[in-house]
């Protein structure tokens, strides 16, 4: 090789830079508004300065930062968080949107981190992003009545492509922990979500005190080509949720595996008038969870959830419904009340479930009666009269320790002959065809 050509080949690598947040002026430890605002402005400036091949490192210290951090258009860069980015906990100083959230009524606070149009970006480093959620959750019960959903998500990525997130702890988000909206290519691995009130919870359950940190979803995703694996999630709402694609497209081609989850479950929904397909959850454990397998429609008439598999999943000590395929059960939902069947009504939305497979699902120590239940119903499969469930198979779906002779499922509106129980499934929903080995 020519001695004149070699320096030219090495030039692009030599131009790449690793920017250090602290050395660039980031102020560690100090917790006051001026410091938080300064750290926010610096972080936005440093992000905007990155070119392909560059990296930005937050060193192993705690940096207090104001919310509303924005960045757009990054490509082929690495963001390393080795310490902690902790968001300032003064709610009154939090920046507001120019216009309220079009999807959530009376919500006008900016997200903590909001990234758009990123491509081939890696977030790594072994550190923590801390949302200071306790300040937003407030006193149990009363805090929600005061703020409701007017709280910031910890990290939102809109219209991003080929994103990798690894070795990050997302801690105590005020609201949803993450939202990846209209993503195309996302890998999240060896990361954790934790949203817990400061409570010495020896029994590991989600009690009413914990659950008052409501809406702290874990990984919420829309778009396509998503792989989330080898992660831990403990929160007080949906652990993983495949949601509506607000851009109007399909949410499809997603695999979630080797997840330790405890919260409102492994979720598809709630879905309105959009289409979700080719989704797989497998090889996962949910200990002391609230719900388990959870698929839900919110409203609308054109929504479709199809080609879905839940496989090799163990659900231990669930507090409420371990299996739910039907309408969204929510506190402020006139369609299906959170306390149903003890209080309120539960009517399916006229949307379509199609080609659903639950295989090798074990529920250990199921509740004899879930929250508000007078009857021992532990599973639900609800289609609508307009669009009954068309194809749902339970293969080796087993509730341990139950006796026969009781109806454990609320089940209605399944196309005749398309609801099938196979293998060692017990109990068998009454509206299914029983093809189990016990016959």
Check pLDDT > 60 for residue 173: yes
Check pLDDT > 70 for residue 39: yes
Counted domains in the chain: 1
Q: Is 339 inside a domain boundary? A: yes
The reported pLDDT for the residue numbered 105 is 84
Per residue in 12-28, pLDDT tens? Answer: 555 889 999 999 999 99
CATH of the domain at 363: 2.160.20.10
Q: How far apart are CA 333 and CA 331, in angstroms?
A: 6
Q: Is 130 inside a domain boundary? A: yes
The reported pLDDT for the residue numbered 206 is 84
Q: Is 9 inside a domain boundary? A: no
pTM above 0.75, yes or no: yes
Residue 199 neighbours by CB distance under 10 Å: 10
Q: Is 43 inside a domain boundary? A: no
Backbone angles phi, psi at 96, to 5 degrees: -110, 155
Residue 203 neighbours by CB distance under 10 Å: 7
Residue 417 neighbours by CB distance under 10 Å: 9
Q: Is 411 inside a domain boundary? A: yes
CB 142 within 8 A of CB 209: no
The reported pLDDT for the residue numbered 167 is 98
Share of the chain above pLDDT 70, in %: 92
Per residue in 41-73, pLDDT tens? Answer: 999 999 999 999 999 999 999 999 999 999 999
Residue 227 three-state SS: strand
The reported pLDDT for the residue numbered 13 is 55
* Least reliable range by pLDDT among 95-99, 167-171, 222-226, 370-374: 370-374
DSSP state string for 370-414: -TT-SS---EEEE--SSS-BEEEEEEEEEETT--SSS--EEEE-B
Where does the pLDDT of residue 349 fall: very low under 50, low under 70, confident under 90, or very high at 90 and above?
confident
Per residue in 111-146, pLDDT tens? Answer: 999 999 999 999 999 999 999 999 999 988 888 888
Q: Is 350 inside a domain boundary? A: yes
The reported pLDDT for the residue numbered 129 is 98
The reported pLDDT for the residue numbered 133 is 96
Q: Is 18 inside a domain boundary? A: no
Please name the helix (run of DSSP H) or strand (run of DSSP E) that holds residue 142, with its range, or none: helix 142-147
Check pLDDT > 50 for residue 8: no
The reported pLDDT for the residue numbered 4 is 45
Cis preceding-peptide flag for 427 (omega within 30 of 0): yes
How far, CA to CA in Å, does 81 sit from each of 19, 44, 124, 139, 165?
A: 12, 15, 6, 31, 11
Check pLDDT > 80 for residue 332: no
Per residue in 269-321, pLDDT tens? Answer: 999 999 999 999 999 999 999 999 999 998 888 999 999 999 999 999 998 89
The reported pLDDT for the residue numbered 151 is 97
Where does the pLDDT of residue 331 fall: very low under 50, low under 70, confident under 90, or very high at 90 and above?
low
The reported pLDDT for the residue numbered 157 is 98
DSSP state string for 66-77: -S-EEEE--EEE
Per residue in 185-240, pLDDT tens? Answer: 999 999 999 999 887 555 677 887 888 888 999 999 999 999 999 999 999 999 99
Closest CA to 267 of 221, 225, 311, 223: 221
Q: Is 8 inside a domain boundary? A: no
**Residue range of the domain that includes 412:** 65-436
């Amino acid at each position: 090789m020519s001695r004149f050509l070699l320096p030219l080949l090495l030039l692009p690598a030599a131009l790449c830079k690793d920017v250090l947040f602290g050395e660039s002026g980031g102020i560690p430890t100090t917790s006051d508004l001026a410091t938080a605002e300064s750290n926010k402005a610096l972080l936005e400036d440093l992000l905007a300065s990155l070119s392909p091949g560059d990296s930005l490192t937050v060193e192993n210290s705690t940096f207090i930062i104001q919310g509303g951090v924005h960045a757009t258009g990054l490509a082929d860069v690495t963001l390393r968080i080795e310490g902690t980015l902790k968001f300032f906990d003064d709610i009154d100083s939090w920046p507001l949107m120019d216009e309220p959230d079009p999807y959530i009524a009376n919500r006008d606070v900016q997200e903590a981190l909001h990234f758009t149009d990123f491509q081939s970006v890696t977030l790594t480093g072994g550190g923590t992003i801390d949302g200071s959620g306790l300040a937003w959750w407030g006193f149990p019960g009363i805090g929600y009545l005061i703020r409701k959903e007017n709280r910031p998500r910890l990290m939102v990525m809109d219209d991003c492509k080929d994103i990798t997130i690894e070795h990050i702890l997302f801690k105590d988000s005020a609201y949803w922990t993450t939202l990846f909206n209209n993503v195309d290519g996302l890998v999240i691995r060896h990361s954790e979500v934790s949203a817990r009130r400061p409570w010495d919870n020896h029994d590991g359950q989600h009690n009413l005190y914990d659950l008052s940190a409501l809406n702290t979803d874990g990984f919420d995703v829309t778009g396509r080509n998503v792989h989330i694996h080898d992660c831990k999630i403990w929160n007080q709402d949906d652990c993983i949720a495949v949601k509506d694609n607000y851009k109007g497209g399909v949410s499809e081609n997603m695999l979630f595996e080797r997840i330790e989850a405890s919260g409102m479950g492994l979720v598809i929904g709630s879905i309105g008038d959009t289409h979700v397909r080719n989704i797989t959850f497998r090889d996962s454990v949910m200990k002391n969870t609230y719900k388990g397998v959870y698929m839900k429609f919110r409203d609308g008439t054109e929504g479709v959830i199809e080609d879905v598999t839940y496989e090799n999943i163990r659900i231990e000590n669930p507090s409420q419904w371990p299996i739910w395929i039907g309408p969204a059960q929510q506190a402020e939902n006139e369609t299906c009340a959170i306390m149903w069947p003890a209080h309120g009504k539960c009517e399916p939305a006229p949307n379509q479930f199609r080609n659903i497979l639950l295989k090798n699902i074990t529920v250990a120590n199921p509740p004899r009666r879930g929250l508000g239940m007078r009857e021992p119903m532990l599973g639900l499969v609800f289609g609508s009269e307009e669009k009954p469930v068309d194809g749902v198979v339970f293969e080796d779906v087993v509730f341990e320790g139950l006796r026969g002779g009781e109806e454990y499922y609320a089940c209605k509106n399944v196309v005749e002959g398309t609801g099938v129980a196979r293998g060692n499934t017990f109990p068998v929903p009454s509206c299914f065809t029983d093809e189990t080995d016990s016959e």
